[in-house]
């Protein structure tokens, strides 16, 4: 295929779908998941797939690749019939997701543009509520079809919040902080202490202190408590950051991570290395969705406010910022406190999703994971954090059948991104809510 063909195809798609606002895409996604719910299983059977593809067919394909690799290198038994799964999974993806999303988005483009324009005149809360409602409905239906999707979605949403909170420090403020899993650990432990200690009979933490039937209403309190404790712990890193920068801050924050980890290992009152189990099952999908949504909204507001601009000034040139009346100490302090707060909240959510925590969960491995998400997605960008966390999270899940090869493919991708886009996929992009939810004019047509 020649270059001009590429250009024509790209142009065709741009002309076809360029004018579709976010509202249209969400409607398309909702339509796709409703179609999947209605005909997914019979369609999968017709396509000779053993089951409905759970992660858009990627998992099915990587399973086939893994089987081929095992057959070639390890002389494992190989059933050629499964090769059919690759085109079948792609066909499924096209029939259930791509085609309906494109069709609905295109057909509804005019109407959804009009609706977006109309909503744009009202308070921002109205379009936000409509978009979030649609998104939640689509995700809820999607996750409702399989528990595996549900747990993957929950953990991915938490990863989004964690990545974004680290982006405040590493992206917006431009410091290399390694302490984030530590903040997460504090949040996870403290919110577990709150819920398990107060509301659950536990061997380590003793009998429930409070018994009343609506105790799950206290889950937000537990999360806030966890987040605040993480913020307090963050002072330990924030104060040295006044005088140190770059590599030295990285080392200090890494030391902090180890301190927190050994602290929880040695605190026998909190279960020591055995950890705490039996957190109440309060972290349902709507709760996580709401908390993560709130987190993204408030972090976005924070980084686009004067505080956020002050952080950018500190990142670009601390001395110049100081000279231009930016209170650099205050800026650094707020960045650490806000970042740690949301990391703590993410930790609290994770603890109640897994319903078990131990100190080993919050080690170097977690740090590598969240750093990869931040730098893959893009520095200084809310979009980037969402893209990074979702893509690394889903990729990690979809490539699981490849076992050790997964740990070659994902780092390789990361290296490629670092070579071709050194600041990440979607770096330095402002997330303007009004623009994101507003109408899109069709190309060639004036506003």
Partner 1 sequence: MRKGRLLIAVLLCAGLVISPSVWAASDVINIGFPIPLTGDNPDVGASSKNAAEMYLKKFPTVDVGGKTYKLNFIYEDNEFKAESAVKALTKLITEEEVLAIIGPQASAQAVPAGEIANNNATPMISPWSTNPNTTLNRPYVFRGCFLDPFQGPVAANFVTEELGAKKAAVLYDIASDYPKGLAEFFKQAFEKIHGPGSVVAFESFTTGDKDFSAQMANIVASGADVLFTPQYYSEVPLIVRAAKENGFTKPIMGSDSWGSGDLMGLCGDDCKGFYFSTHYAAAGAKGATKEFIDEYTAAYGKTPDDVAALTWDSLGIMIQAIQNTGGLSGNIKADRTKVKDALAAIKDYPGITGKMTFTPEGDPIKCAVVVKINEEGKFAFHESVCP
Nearer to partner 1, 65 or 224 (CB): 65
Tokens 């893959």, residue? 376
CB of 2 vs partner 1, minimal distance in Å: 26
CB of 271 vs partner 1, minimal distance in Å: 9
Nearer to partner 1, 11 or 262 (CB): 262
CB of 407 vs partner 1, minimal distance in Å: 6
**Where do contacts with partner 1 occur on this chain (CB under 8 A)?**
45-51, 54, 81, 84, 146-148, 150-152, 155, 261-262, 265-266, 272-275, 277-278, 350, 353-361, 365, 397, 400, 403-404, 406-407
CB of 404 vs partner 1, minimal distance in Å: 5
| CA angle in degrees (0–180, nearest 5) for 293-151-410 | 90
Say if CB 244 and CB 322 are below 8 A apart. no
CB of 12 vs partner 1, minimal distance in Å: 20
Nearer to partner 1, 70 or 328 (CB): 70
CB of 232 vs partner 1, minimal distance in Å: 24
**C-alpha to C-alpha distance for 105 and 108, rounded to whole angstroms:** 5
Say if CB 161 and CB 296 are below 8 A apart. yes
| Closest by Cα among 444, 397, 424, 436 to 62 | 397
Strands 356-357 and 276-277: antiparallel
Nearer to partner 1, 147 or 247 (CB): 147
CB of 119 vs partner 1, minimal distance in Å: 37
**C-alpha to C-alpha distance for 387 and 425, rounded to whole angstroms:** 8
Nearer to partner 1, 127 or 393 (CB): 393
CA distances from 270 to 185, 230, 276 (A): 12, 16, 7
Nearer to partner 1, 193 or 234 (CB): 193
CA distances from 304 to 13, 336, 337, 382, 429 (A): 33, 16, 17, 10, 11
Residue by residue, DSSP assigns 183-241 as HHHHHHHHHHHHHHHHHS-BTTTBS-S---TTGGGGHHHHHHHHHHHHHHHHHHHHTGG
**C-alpha to C-alpha distance for 354 and 342, rounded to whole angstroms:** 18
Tokens 């605190």, residue? 267
**C-alpha to C-alpha distance for 252 and 244, rounded to whole angstroms:** 9
CB of 163 vs partner 1, minimal distance in Å: 15
**C-alpha to C-alpha distance for 389 and 376, rounded to whole angstroms:** 8
Nearer to partner 1, 238 or 276 (CB): 276
Which tokens belong to 29? Answer: 């996604």
Nearer to partner 1, 21 or 57 (CB): 57
């Amino acid at each position: 295929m020649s270059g001009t063909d590429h250009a024509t195809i790209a142009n065709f798609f741009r002309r076809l779908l360029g004018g579709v606002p976010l509202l249209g895409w969400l409607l398309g996604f909702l339509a796709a998941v409703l179609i999947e719910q209605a005909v997914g299983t019979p369609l999968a059977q017709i396509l000779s797939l053993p089951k409905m593809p759970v992660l858009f067919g990627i998992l099915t394909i990587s399973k086939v690749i893994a089987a081929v690799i095992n057959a070639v290198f390890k002389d494992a038994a190989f059933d050629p019939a499964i090769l059919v799964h690759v085109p079948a999974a792609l066909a499924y993806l096209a029939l259930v997701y791509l085609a309906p999303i494109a069709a609905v988005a295109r057909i509804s483009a005019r109407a959804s543009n009009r609706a977006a324009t109309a909503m744009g005149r009202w308070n921002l809360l109205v379009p936000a509520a409509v978009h979030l409602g649609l998104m939640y409905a689509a995700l809820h239906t999607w996750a409702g079809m399989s528990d595996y999707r549900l747990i993957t979605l929950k953990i991915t949403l938490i990863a989004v919040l964690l990545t974004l909170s680290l982006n405040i420090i590493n992206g917006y403020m431009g410091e290399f902080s390694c302490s984030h899993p530590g903040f997460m650990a504090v949040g996870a432990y403290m919110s577990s202490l709150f819920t398990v200690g107060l509301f659950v009979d536990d061997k380590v933490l003793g009998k429930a202190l409070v018994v009343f039937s609506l105790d799950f209403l206290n889950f937000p309190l537990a999360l806030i408590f966890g987040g605040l404790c993480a913020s307090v712990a963050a002072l330990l890193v924030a104060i040295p950051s006044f005088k140190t920068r770059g590599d030295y801050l990285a080392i200090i924050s890494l030391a902090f991570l180890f301190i927190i980890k050994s602290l929880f290992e040695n605190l026998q009152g909190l279960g020591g290395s055995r950890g705490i189990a039996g957190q109440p099952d309060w972290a349902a999908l709507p709760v996580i969705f709401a908390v993560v949504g709130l987190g993204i909204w408030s972090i976005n507001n924070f980084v686009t406010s004067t505080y956020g601009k002050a952080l950018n000034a500190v990142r670009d040139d601390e001395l110049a910022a100081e000279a231009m009346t930016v209170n650099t100490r205050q800026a650094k302090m707020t960045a650490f406190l806000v970042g740690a707060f949301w990391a703590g909240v993410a930790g609290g959510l994770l603890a109640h999703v897994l319903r078990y925590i131990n100190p080993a969960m919050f080690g170097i491995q977690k740090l590598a994971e969240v750093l990869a998400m931040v730098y893959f997605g893009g520095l200084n960008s809310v979009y980037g954090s969402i893209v990074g966390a979702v893509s690394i999270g889903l990729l990690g899940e979809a490539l699981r059948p490849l076992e050790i090869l997964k740990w070659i493919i994902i780092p390789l991708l990361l290296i490629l991104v670092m070579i071709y886009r050194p600041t990440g996929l979607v770096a330095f992009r402002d997330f303007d809510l009004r623009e994101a939810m507003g109408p899109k004019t069709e190309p060639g047509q004036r506003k």
